[in-house]
Chains A and B, each alone.
Chain A
Amino acid sequence: MQNAAPPAETQTGSSRQFISFTIGDEEYGVDIMAIREIKGWAPTTELPNTPEYMRGVINLRGAIVPIFDLRARFSGGQTQASARHVIIVVSVHDRVIGILVDAVADIITITTADIQPVPELDHHVHSGFLTGLVTVDGRMVALLDLHQLFDSELIADATAAA
C-alpha cells in the first residue's frame, strides 16, 4: 500500500479515491489503495476464544486471512452473513485482512479539501477510527482509518480469553 500510494497522488493531485460501502444505513469509505480485492462472503473457520467481531479465517489462495465483522466492531451486533454480504480484503500493517460489510456502494473521488474533521460524535462509533467525513451526492460518508481500527487486533498482545 505504501509503495502504491505515491503514483495515485501524482495522478490525482490533492484528490483521493475511496471505496465506499454500507453497514446498515451507514456509509463508510476506505482508501482505494489499501484494498486488495473484494469478494463475496464465504463461510469462515471460527477461531476459539476471540471477540465477537472476529469472524474467523478464510483461505485466500493459500493464505490464511482473518475476517473482521465491521458491524460487530462498531458494537452493532454480529452481521447475519449471507452470500450477498461482501468481504473487502485490505492490506493493513503489512498484513492482509478481510472486513465483512453489507455491500459495496461506490467508488468516490474526493479532493482533500472536501474532507471535514469528525465532530465530537454522540455515536457508538469511536471517532478515533475515522479520519474525516465527506458528503457525496447528499450522503454522508465516514472515512475509516484502518490502521487505527485494527492496531490492537493485529499487534499481538495478551490473547482475548486465555
Chain B
Amino acid sequence: MTDDQGYDLSQFKATYFEECAELLATAEETIARLQDGQGNDEDLNAVFRCVHSIKGGAGAFAFDDLVHFAHVFETALDHLRSGRAELTPHVADLMVRGNDILGDFVRASQAESSLPADHGADILAQLSALTGAKPPVAPAAAQAAPSTPAPKAPSFTTYRIRFLPGPDMLRTGNDPLMMFRELAGLGELEVVADITALPALTEMDALRSYLSWTCTLTTDKDRSAVDEVFEFVSGETAQVEIEELDSLPGDEEGEGWGLFAPPPSANAAKDEEGDGWGLFGDAPGNNAVATPAIPAAAPPKAATAAPTPTATQGGAVHTASIRVDLDKIDRLVNMVGELVITQAMLGQQASGFTVESHPELIQGLQELSHHTRELQESVMAIRAQPVKALFSKAPRLVRDLSSKLNKQARLVMSGENTEVDKTVIEQLSDPLTHLIRNALDHGIETPEERVAVGKPAEGTIHLAAEHRSGRIFIEIEDDGRGINRERVLAKAMEKGLVEPGQQLTDEQVDMLIFAPGFSTASEVSDVSGRGVGMDVVRKNIQDVGGRVVVQSTPGAGSRFILSLPLTLAVMDGMLIQVGGQRYVLPLTNIVESLRPTPQQARSLVDVGNVLTIRGEYINLMALHAIFGIPGAITDPTKGLVVIVETEGGERVGLLVDELLGQQQVVIKSLDSNFRPIHGISAATILGDGRVALILDVSALRQMGALATAAQ
C-alpha cells in the first residue's frame, strides 16, 4: 500500500468507521431476525459479510484487537452458515452480544483507546467453542530440541516457536520462508525443519505443505511482534505454538488476547487447537469437533442471555457524519431553488419602493437575499465533494499503464481538495480516466524517444484542479509529444470531417480530436484508441454543463482543460434584453460591456462585423440575427455590446439591446420536457414568473460563425 502520493489515511479511516456503523446496525437487525427464528441462510450470510467487512477494513488499518475478535466471530458465523454448528437460540444470543462487543472494539479503535484485555473474553470463548477444535496434530517429536541461545542481554527473551502448517497453507498464499525472514528480522533465529512427513517425490503434491518447523528466536521485541508474523496463518491454515523459554510464567496477562498460549507449562501439557484465540484453556471438552454445546465451555454466567456489563446494547458507533439519500438532498436543492426565485420576485416587486418610504421592508428584503444566498451555498456544500475522490484513482492508473506501455511517467497532482458537486464528480470519472490514458498512450513518448529529443526519460503528467471565477477547472497536462497536427488533419480529411483545402487554425485542428469517431491511433491498442474516445469525453463533460479545450505544443506536450460548473443548480447571470425577449448570460462568460462608437464597429466583407477594442479586433455577433428575434436593435452603436469569453478563451462581442441587471438564477433543464436547443444551455424562471433562456456562449460563437459563412 505504498503510494506515491502519501495519502492521508484519516480520511479513509473516517469512511471505514462510517461503514462500520452501518454494518453493525445491519448485522444487529439481521441477527434480531435470526433470533426471532425468522431468519434464513441468507441472513446468516449477511451477518457474515458484515463482520467480514469490518474485519477486512480493520486489518488494513491494523486495529489488531478488532481484527482478532472479528476473526473469531467470523469463524463462528462461518461454521453456522456451513451447517457445522447449529443456530440455537442460545447461539443467536451469543451473536447479539458478539456484535455488541464488536461494536465496542470498533468504537475503541475509532477513539484510539484500548479496551481492557479481557474485554468480551467470555463471548470470545463461547464463539471459539462454537467453531469447535480440530483434533490436535501430534507434535513432531523426532526433532532434537534446539540448543538454548548463548548470549542473552537482560531484555532479551527467547521463544520457541513450533510452526505446523496445515496441508493447505501454501494454497492460501502464505510462504513460510517469508515468515522466517520476518522472524529473523526480529532477532537471532534458529530454524529446524521436520521433514518426517515428507512423502516420496513421486507422491508429492507440490501445493501441499509437508514440513513443520521449530524455531528458536531470541529477540528484544515483545511477544506481539512474534505473534504478528504468524497473524495470517494462525488458526485454520496452520498451527502455531509459541513458548517463552526464559520468561516468567504468567507475565503475559493483559497482553492483548492472550494469544496462542498460556504460560509454557500449561501449553506443554495440552494442545491449543491451533489458533487458541480463546482463553478457555481450562475446558478440555471444547476439543470435541463442532459440539453446539457451548455452555460447557463457558463460564456459567455468560451462558445466560444476560448482557455482559461492558457490552453496549445496540449502541451505534458515533459518527460525525450521516449518510443521506441523494433524493432528499435534491429535494432540498429544488426547494432552495424555488426560494431563490421567490426572493427575486419579492425583490422585483419592491423595486419601486425607496429606503426612505419603506426602510424596514427594504432592509428585510436585503437580509432575505443574504440568507437565501447563504442557504443556497450551504445546500450546495452538502453536495460538494473534494475532487480527491476522482483523483485518487489516477496514481494507480498511471503506474499500471506506464508499466504496460513500457513508459516512464510521474504523476503530479494539485488542488485535490477543490470541491465540486457530486454529480459533476460522478460524470467526470470516465472522461478523466480516458484523458489520463490518452496522455500516457499518445502523449508521453517511450524513454528512448524522450532521451533522444533531450527530455528526461520520465514523463510528467500533471493533474490539477482549481476554482476560478465560479467554475472548476481540471487540467491534465503532459510533457509528451503533443498533438501531431498533420496526422490529425490527414485523418480528419480521410474521415470526411474536413473538406480538402479548408483552412484551419492550429486550435481548430487540435479540436478535431473531439470529433465523433475520430481516433488517430494507427493500431487499436487495449489502452486507448477504440475510436470511442474523445468525443465521448467531450459529451460527458458537456452533459454536466462543462467544456473541454485542448492546448498543444508539438514536441512539448498537451494540456486538456476541463471547465465545469460548480453546481448544477444555481448560477450568477446577467439578464439581457433583445427585442421582446430576455435572456440570461452566465456572468462567468462576461468580460465587459460597451456601446461602440461608429469607428469601433465595422462591417467587413467575408468576415462580417468586427469590433475594434484597444487595438484588438474581435468578432461581433448580433444575438437577434442568430436567434431571429424581431424588433431588436440592429445598429451596434445604438445597442450594447457584451464582450464574452468562450471556454476556449476566445472573445467575441455579442450585440444586445440592453442589460437589465445581474441576478442569481436557478438552472432548469429544457430537455426534461422538451429537447435541447442549440445556443441555449438551460432555462430559468425570473422574478415575475416568466421563463428566461440561459445562453450558451460557445454554441453561439459557432452559430455566429456559421451565419457569417452563410452570408
Neighbouring A residues of B337 by C-beta, 8 Å: 62
In the complex, what residue of chain A is closest to B693 when comparing beta carbons?
A45
Known: A50-B677, A64-B668, A64-B673. A59 touches B690 (CB 8 A): yes
**Contact present for B671 and A48 (CB under 8 Å):** no
9-residue interface stretch from B116-124, B172-180, B626-634? B626-634
User: What size tier do the contact residues of chain A reach?
Assistant: 20 to 34
Known: A43-B690, A46-B581, A159-B678. A96 touches B627 (CB 8 A): no
**Bound complex: CA A66 to CA B581 (Å):** 16
Q: Which of B626, B674, B689 contacts A57 (CB 8 A)?
A: B674
Chain B window 683-698, contacts with chain A (Cβ cutoff 8 Å), 1 for yes, 0 for no: 1010001111100000
A23 contacts chain B at the CB level, 8 A cutoff: no
B679 contacts chain A at the CB level, 8 A cutoff: yes
Distance of A140 from chain B, by nearest CB (Å): 32
A154 contacts chain B at the CB level, 8 A cutoff: yes
**Contact present for A47 and B671 (CB under 8 Å):** no
**Contact present for A62 and B693 (CB under 8 Å):** no
Chain B window 661-688, contacts with chain A (Cβ cutoff 8 Å), 1 for yes, 0 for no: 0000000111111111111100101000
B188 contacts chain A at the CB level, 8 A cutoff: no
Chain B window 329-340, contacts with chain A (Cβ cutoff 8 Å), 1 for yes, 0 for no: 000001001100
A 71-95 contacts with B by CB, 8 A: 95
**Contact present for B674 and A154 (CB under 8 Å):** yes
B703 contacts chain A at the CB level, 8 A cutoff: yes
Neighbouring A residues of B334 by C-beta, 8 Å: 62
Neighbouring B residues of A154 by C-beta, 8 Å: 674-675
Neighbouring B residues of A159 by C-beta, 8 Å: 675-678
**Contact present for B683 and A62 (CB under 8 Å):** no
**Contact present for B690 and A162 (CB under 8 Å):** no
**Bound complex: CA A58 to CA B683 (Å):** 10
**Bound complex: CA A18 to CA B383 (Å):** 44
**Bound complex: CA A154 to CA B582 (Å):** 24
A4 contacts chain B at the CB level, 8 A cutoff: no
**Contact present for B691 and A48 (CB under 8 Å):** no
**Bound complex: CA A97 to CA B668 (Å):** 15
In the complex, what residue of chain A is closest to B688 when comparing beta carbons?
A59
**Contact present for A47 and B680 (CB under 8 Å):** yes
In the complex, what residue of chain B is closest to A91 when comparing beta carbons?
B673
In the complex, what residue of chain B is closest to A98 when comparing beta carbons?
B673
**Contact present for A156 and B671 (CB under 8 Å):** yes
Neighbouring B residues of A59 by C-beta, 8 Å: 685, 689-691
Distance of A158 from chain B, by nearest CB (Å): 9
A49 contacts chain B at the CB level, 8 A cutoff: yes
**Contact present for B691 and A49 (CB under 8 Å):** no
**Contact present for A45 and B672 (CB under 8 Å):** no
**Contact present for B690 and A47 (CB under 8 Å):** no
Neighbouring B residues of A95 by C-beta, 8 Å: 672-674
Known: A48-B626, A62-B338. A57 touches B680 (CB 8 A): no
**Contact present for A49 and B678 (CB under 8 Å):** yes
Chain B window 638-678, contacts with chain A (Cβ cutoff 8 Å), 1 for yes, 0 for no: 00000000000000000000000000000011111111111
**Contact present for B678 and A63 (CB under 8 Å):** no
In the complex, what residue of chain A is closest to B626 when comparing beta carbons?
A48
**Bound complex: CA A162 to CA B675 (Å):** 14
Neighbouring A residues of B669 by C-beta, 8 Å: 64
**Bound complex: CA A57 to CA B629 (Å):** 16
**Contact present for B679 and A49 (CB under 8 Å):** yes
A 110-156 contacts with B by CB, 8 A: 153-156
Distance of B515 from chain A, by nearest CB (Å): 16
**Contact present for A48 and B672 (CB under 8 Å):** no
Chain A window 93-105, contacts with chain B (Cβ cutoff 8 Å), 1 for yes, 0 for no: 0011100000000
**Contact present for B673 and A63 (CB under 8 Å):** yes
**Bound complex: CA A59 to CA B691 (Å):** 6
A65 contacts chain B at the CB level, 8 A cutoff: yes
Neighbouring B residues of A156 by C-beta, 8 Å: 671, 675-676
**Bound complex: CA A162 to CA B705 (Å):** 12
Neighbouring A residues of B706 by C-beta, 8 Å: 162
Q: Which of A43, A47, A66, A96 contacts B693 (CB 8 A)?
A: A47
Neighbouring B residues of A162 by C-beta, 8 Å: 678, 703, 706
B 421-468 contacts with A by CB, 8 A: none
**Bound complex: CA A98 to CA B341 (Å):** 22
Distance of A134 from chain B, by nearest CB (Å): 30
Q: Which of A45, A97, A153 contacts B683 (CB 8 A)?
A: A45
Distance of A61 from chain B, by nearest CB (Å): 9
**Bound complex: CA A63 to CA B669 (Å):** 9
Distance of B224 from chain A, by nearest CB (Å): 62
Chain B CB within 10 A, most for which of A56, A57, A66: A57
Neighbouring A residues of B693 by C-beta, 8 Å: 45, 47-48
Neighbouring A residues of B689 by C-beta, 8 Å: 59
**Bound complex: CA A56 to CA B680 (Å):** 13
CB pairs A–B below 8 angstroms (12 shown):
A45-B683, A45-B692, A47-B677, A49-B679, A57-B670, A57-B674, A62-B338, A62-B341, A64-B674, A96-B673, A97-B674, A154-B674
B residues apposed to A, CB below 8 Å: 334, 337-338, 341, 581-582, 626-629, 668-680, 683, 685, 689-693, 703, 706
Q: Which 7 A-B pairs have the closest CB atoms?
A: A48-B627, A156-B675, A45-B691, A66-B674, A95-B673, A59-B685, A159-B678
